[in-house]
């Protein structure tokens, strides 16, 4: 896990939800929902992407704002998730 996780997810978000619009500036701590970048269907698309990209399974109860609403949250969540997967 490294800084690239955030870059990868950021690229996915810009590509998939902003359709390449780079004029929308969002920081690693900005809420994706409140800034209108993700809608609720978008969350499911994001989950599908993360599962495929990182080979993990995300349970419904893990789909929470504290895990997914900012790039930093996503980073932390994935880090934890990958460690668990390695341990098991």
Partner 1 sequence: MCGIAGIYPFHTSADSHHLKTTLEHMLATLYHRGPDEGGMLLDKNFAMGMTRLSIIDLSGGQQPISNEQGDMWVVFNGEIFNFVELRTLLQKAGHRFSTHTDTEVIIHAYEEFGLNFVDHLNGQFAIAIWDSRARQLILARDRVGIRPLFYTEHNGSMYFASEMKALATANRFPLEIDFRGLSQIFTFWVNLPPRTIFRDIHELPPGHLMTVSDKGIAQYPYWNYRFPTDGIFPIRSRKHARTILREQLLEATRLRLRADVPVGAYLSGGLDSSLISAIVKQYFNDKLETFSLAFHNPHYDERPYQEQMAKHLGTRHHVVEINENDIAELFPMAVWHAEKPLLRTAPAPLFALSRLVREHHIKVVLTGEGADEIFAGYNIFKEDKIRRFWAKAPESEWRPMVLAKLYPYILQEKGSVSPFWKQFFRRHLTETDHPFYSHLLRWENGMHFSRFLAPDARIALTLEDHIEELWNLIPYEYSRWHPLNKAQFLEAALFMNGYLLSSQGDRMMMGNSVEGRFPYLDHRLIDFAAQLHPDLKLHGLTGKFILRQAFPELLPPEILNRPKQPYRAPIASVFLSQHTPEIIRELLQEDALKRFGYFNPAAVARLTQKLLQNPVPSARDEMAITFIVSLQILHWQFIEHFQPAMTIDMNKFKIVQMNHKEETNAVF
In the complex, the residues that contact partner 1 under the rule CB under 8 A are: 15-16, 18-21, 24, 33-34, 36, 38-43, 45, 60-61, 63-65, 68-69
* Nearer to partner 1 among residue 28 and residue 39 (C-beta): 39
Tokens 């809608």 — which residue?
Answer: 39
Write the DSSP symbol of residue 19.
T
* Nearer to partner 1 among residue 2 and residue 22 (C-beta): 22
Cβ at position 26, least distance to partner 1 in Å: 13
Instruction: Please give the Cα distance from 73 to 81 (Å, whole number).
Output: 12
Instruction: Please give the Cα distance from 71 to 87 (Å, whole number).
Output: 24
Instruction: Please give the Cα distance from 23 to 20 (Å, whole number).
Output: 9
* Nearer to partner 1 among residue 12 and residue 54 (C-beta): 12
């Amino acid at each position: 896990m490294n800084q690239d996780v955030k870059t990868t997810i950021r690229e996915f978000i810009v590509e998939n939800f902003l359709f390449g619009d780079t004029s929308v500036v969002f920081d690693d701590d900005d809420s994706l929902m409140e800034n209108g970048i993700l809608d609720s269907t978008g969350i499911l698309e994001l989950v599908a992407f993360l599962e495929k990209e990182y080979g993990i399974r995300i349970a419904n109860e893990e789909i929470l704002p504290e895990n997914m609403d900012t790039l930093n949250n996503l980073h932390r969540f994935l880090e934890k998730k990958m460690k668990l997967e390695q341990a098991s």
